[in-house]
Amino acid sequence: MFKQASWEEPIIFNLRREGRKGHIPPKLEEEIKKAVGEADTLIPKSMQRTSPLRLPELSEAEVTRHFIRLSEMNFGVDSGFYPLGSCTMKYNPKINEQLANLPTIAMIHPYQDESTVQGILEILYALERWLAELTGTQEVCLHPAAGAHGEFLGTLLMRAYHKMNGEDGKRSEVIVPDSAHGTNPASAAMAGFKVVVVPSDEEGCVNLEALKAAVSEKTAGLMLTNPNTLGIFEKNIEEIAKTIHEAGGLLYYDGANLNPLLGIVRPGDMGFDIVHINIHKTFATPHGGGGPGAGPVGVSEELAEFLPVPRITYDGEKYRLDYDKPHSIGKIRSFYGNVAVLLKAYAYILSLGFEGLKEVAEVSVLNANYIMHKLKGVKGLTLPYNSRKPRKHECVFSAKPLKSETGVSALNIAKRLLDYGFHAPTIYFPLIVEEALMIEPTETFEKEELDRFVDAMQKICEEAYNNPEAVLKAPHNTAVPRLDEVKASHPKTMALSWRMFNKRMGEIEVLNK
Ligand SMILES: *Cc1c(COP(=O)(O)O)cnc(C)c1O
């Protein structure tokens, strides 16, 4: 069993001692003084800070210990198995971080003249071409900062397209299957569309009859995830595409999870007109906790003229930022997107090459199916929606029988997994599976680790029958014991900073009583 480090580590501000500092070599200290002096003359007095920065004063070793200890009380994809379904938590090669931190990348400014940033423009241009090739689209826009942002752009593109055809007011509905990620209906609604939900059939795919009944001259488009959030490939995709296109709608592909398809099939070839992908899931950039991501959008030739500005162009000699696009929907984000994140994706793609990317797809699918087969016989769990059908990158189990027989829920299993040294899978999503455990192993982990996970799942389900208290009160071995889920996310008790925490201590104590 796993035991996490548990330090009584104070907040860094409580460790400070006035006047204490890290060692700065004398020569560097001189240079810093000089730079500060120069800044004094360069920055207008009215814009200079009048009070000193409130930074904690500590020695270098104290800072190192503090953050190492905090990291030891945390769980990340570098510490172990992290099967967070649909969120694709895979190993992110460290060399990508080093490349993104090169001064020639990290120090460039978006307002620099384009003649001085030819290198990064070349990288972004080449990345656009790679992503267009991998998704089977014509043009790619790298600007959106996340998957949901890409979806929002995609639905705005639908709007622009219908407007061009004189059907702006008429095409008012976007169809979304009931297995969709919550961001899909939210994005469509934000773009001003009415959301029409279609149910899944008993195979876990879009119910074709229901889809045909939902389609009309009001349909602006369909947003589809394929493989869907159950990890199942929509085998009727060609008929779905035909249905939507014949009705005059557009087909939107939620490619947040492109892992299982890389180099094997392309959404563009399935008939999709607009595709977003999550760089921070498929193309290896650390994410979680709201870290920076990127959700590029690829489109078919017909829609390219509507993409946001600036577009990067290349005339065989120079890269340019082209703002002269009369039909563009305008800007979706400041400047050119999350450039450091995009650079890491480019490095990842180049280091694997086309064959390597294909292997990512094959191994991620193999791993998900291995886990699915190993967990299938476990007492208390079921695999809803045709348990004989292979899955793609993830599989979704239901702990409904376990809960009704022992009281142990999907949430309890997730908590207990932490005691065994595994991050919890995604739970209670997709909404069409009760007591859902959504497991995505990715291509990162080797068979031994998958076996250890399966073993832990089996043990936990056995515990649920023999010693349910152990599971119901888990986790026991983590740095922080079981959290109160309500308080942890309640606007009255959530404290996101030290200052907020101090301010709220009083209120929290009142709530505790
Ligand atoms: C993660 C995810 C999204 C949203 O992506 P964000 O970058 O979190 O906004 C959309 N759809 C699916 C299927 C996802 O897994």
CATH class for the domain made up of 99-106+114-350: alpha beta
Atom index in ligand 1 nearest the CA of residue 225 equals 13
Q: Is the dihedral of CA 315, 303, 306, 124 positive or negative?
A: negative
Tell me: the pLDDT tens digits for 337-389?
999 999 999 999 999 999 999 999 999 999 999 999 999 999 999 999 988 99
pLDDT at 473 over 50: yes
Residues with CB under 6 Å of ligand 1 are 86-87, 146-148, 181, 183, 225, 229, 254, 256-257, 278, 293, 295
pLDDT level of residue 508 (50, 70, 90 thresholds):
low
pLDDT over 70 for what percent of the chain? 98
Does the predicted TM-score (pTM) go above 0.75?
yes
CB contact set of 31 (below 8 Å; sequence gap of 6+): none
Tell me: the pLDDT tens digits for 102-152?
999 999 999 999 999 999 999 999 999 999 999 999 999 999 999 999 999
- C-alpha–C-alpha distance, residues 360 and 357, integer Å: 5
pLDDT over 90 for what percent of the chain? 82
391 CA → ligand 1 middle, Å: 19
| Residue intervals in the chain for CATH 3.90.1150.10 | 362-485
Atom index in ligand 1 nearest the CA of residue 229 equals 13
358 CA → ligand 1 middle, Å: 22
281 CA → ligand 1 middle, Å: 9
pLDDT at 513 over 50: no
Q: Average pLDDT, whole number, for the chain?
A: 94
Q: So what's the pLDDT on residue 112?
A: 95
pLDDT level of residue 510 (50, 70, 90 thresholds):
low
Minimal-distance CA residue to ligand 1 atom 4: 147
Tokens, residue 348: 């990842």
| Residue intervals in the chain for CATH 3.40.640.10 | 99-106+114-350
b/e string for 161-172 if b means 16 or more Cβ within 10 A?
bbeeeeeeeebb
Tell me: the pLDDT tens digits for 163-178?
999 998 899 999 999 9
Tell me: the pLDDT tens digits for 46-86?
988 888 888 899 999 999 999 999 999 999 899 899 999 99
Q: How many alpha carbons lie under 13 Å from residue 148 in its C-beta half-sphere? A: 11
Minimal-distance CA residue to ligand 1 atom 6: 147
Residue with tokens 């709530």: 511
Q: Is the dihedral of CA 20, 22, 25, 27 positive or negative?
A: negative
- C-alpha–C-alpha distance, residues 226 and 480, integer Å: 37
pLDDT at 327 over 70: yes
Atom index in ligand 1 nearest the CA of residue 86 equals 15
Question: Span 425-447, mean pLDDT?
Answer: 96
pLDDT at 284 over 60: yes
pLDDT at 291 over 80: no
Q: So what's the pLDDT on residue 507?
A: 63
484 versus 275: the higher-pLDDT residue is 275
pLDDT level of residue 496 (50, 70, 90 thresholds):
confident
pLDDT at 13 over 90: no
322 CA → ligand 1 middle, Å: 29
Q: So what's the pLDDT on residue 409?
A: 98
Q: So what's the pLDDT on residue 501?
A: 79
490 versus 505: the higher-pLDDT residue is 490
Write 167-174 long-range contacts (CB < 8 A, 24+).
167/248, 170/217, 170/218, 171/217, 171/218, 171/219, 171/220, 171/248, 171/249, 172/218, 172/220, 173/216, 173/218, 173/219, 173/220, 174/219, 174/220, 174/221, 174/222, 174/223, 174/252
Q: Does domain 362-485 have CATH number 3.30.2080.10?
A: no
Minimal-distance CA residue to ligand 1 atom 5: 147
The residue to mutate among 184, 190, 234, 254, having the most atoms of ligand 1 within 8 angstroms of its beta carbon, is 254
- C-alpha–C-alpha distance, residues 352 and 238, integer Å: 31
